[in-house]
Amino acid sequence: MNKRDFPKVHFYDQDFVDIYDRSWAWVQDYWVTPDVNGLSPEGYFIYPEGEESILNQFETIFSSFFFVYSNRNYHANQSLDFFYEHQEENGAIRWKYNLLTGDPVLSKDNPEGIGMPLFAWAEFNLFHKSANKKRIKDIMPVLQKYMSWIDATFKKECGLYQVPLAATTMINSPRKKADFLVDFNTALAINALYMSALGDILNDKELSFQYKRMYFSLKTRINSHMWDPETGFYHDVDSDLVRQPQKTIAGFWPLLAEIPNEDKADKLISHLLNPHTFGVDHPFPSLSADDPEYDERGMGYRGSVFAPFTFMVVKGLEKYQRWDLARECAIRHLYYVLDALSPNGEHNKGFLWEAYMPQKEGPAQWPGKEGFPRKQYLPYAGLSTIALMIENIIGLSISLPRKTVDWIIPNLEVMGIENLSLKRNLITILSNKSQRGWEIHMESEKLYYFTINILGQKKKTLPIPSGKCSMLIDKL
């Protein structure tokens, strides 16, 4: 199928490497080219819903976070562009489209078809993996119009935004009495924060300032209305701005938006370690374990573990430099994904699932709900088996425009990545133990800056020349 191979990962647990490799192999079954309705890597990434080809905003944005590692075998931006191309006069971009007709798919529970507004976050990540500044210039007017539409349609007098629960994907979460949803309002703050960052990349001071102002306005309101000092958590509020008692996974979005100060962040993060709320065996349940409606079978959003939310929490932990916890949770999550892939150690019996049980092995259950959870659900699963694998388990953070690779690890282990394509530069970084001690082998076609951060031990940045080289950790 491809002109290039996918990057190879190395890790001491071979099962992690296998599931990573198999994910890339499975992904190719979901690329659809609408005009011929055939499969092609040039097409759009879609999980088939019955007979229809529906492109879904939430899936598209999140799957772009692992397609950036496909060594350009797949276009991480193709499906995003479909949404931009279907923007309406008033700036609206709807949450789902029929790929064959281009029509928006609207529903009773979401008549405007508003989705989680996270395009700018995805674009910022794409920029750091592709260094394509022209793209930002081209899409910025689209994203600005989209933000204006959200403002005009959903903003209320209190300065918060009111959308239906369906917009957050968390359909049966016990949040029915909530009017202002913490996840949607925070997603908008995240989008504003990254719009401002994209403005900086374009050296557009006015644009950057406009969205920074919007971000701070949302940040202030989320902190004053949604934070509860008693529970140490962010809650939804009703129309009178009264906080609702439920603690859902939505309350962790503010970490990703850098909304809590250190003190609030510590309280919020402590819930991830508390077995009575979110620190259950499989990180992280969609509803707090002490909620009366929590169900250890999962029951949709009453406890099931969903990869995008675990990914979101892990990325939020990174913002507060909690690398150890982020990695430990990513590893635990992946073990549960693996267990469901090979139940009872039988390698070909299981699947990758849309959702998992929070306290036992296996896919989530929702008796009476047909088609839940979806199997081989790669738009979500790839976040765990590819993106978290590279970024949090192996621990690599890469920026092409900055020419930097950061390797953040708690301790040295035999692991690394081979032939990761950064634009036209293939790089390899592997650590292993030789007689002379721990050694890191590098290979690259161009110069870049490498930072190794062995948590609590040493941190060092070095320019890595083109060609092959190796370094002894003890000599740093």
Q: Which CATH architecture has domain 8-394?
A: Alpha/alpha barrel (1.50)
| Residue 386 neighbours by CB under 8 Å, 6+ apart | 20, 23, 24, 66, 69
Domains of the chain by residue range: 8-394, 415-475
| pLDDT tens-digit readout, 230-247 | 999 999 999 999 999 999
Q: State residue 425's pLDDT score.
A: 82
For 210, the token pair is 């406009």
92 vs 107: CA distance, rounded Å: 16
Kindly state the greatest CA–CA separation across the chain: 68
Cα three-residue angle 10-332-356, rounded to 5 degrees? 115
Is the pTM above the cut of 0.75? yes
Q: State residue 299's pLDDT score.
A: 98
As a whole number of Å, the end-to-end CA separation of the chain is 42
> pLDDT tens digits, the chain, 476 residues: what are they?
345 789 999 999 999 999 999 999 999 888 887 765 566 667 899 887 666 789 999 999 999 999 999 998 998 899 999 999 999 999 999 999 998 899 999 999 999 999 999 999 999 999 999 999 999 999 999 999 999 999 999 999 999 999 999 999 999 999 999 999 999 999 999 999 999 999 999 999 999 999 999 999 999 999 999 999 999 999 999 999 999 999 999 999 999 999 999 999 999 999 999 999 999 999 999 999 999 999 999 999 999 999 999 999 999 999 999 999 999 999 999 999 999 998 776 766 789 999 999 999 999 999 999 999 999 999 999 999 999 999 999 999 999 999 999 999 888 889 999 999 877 788 999 999 988 889 999 999 888 999 999 988 889 999 988 999 998 988 87
Closest among 420, 465, 467 to 443, alpha carbons compared: 467
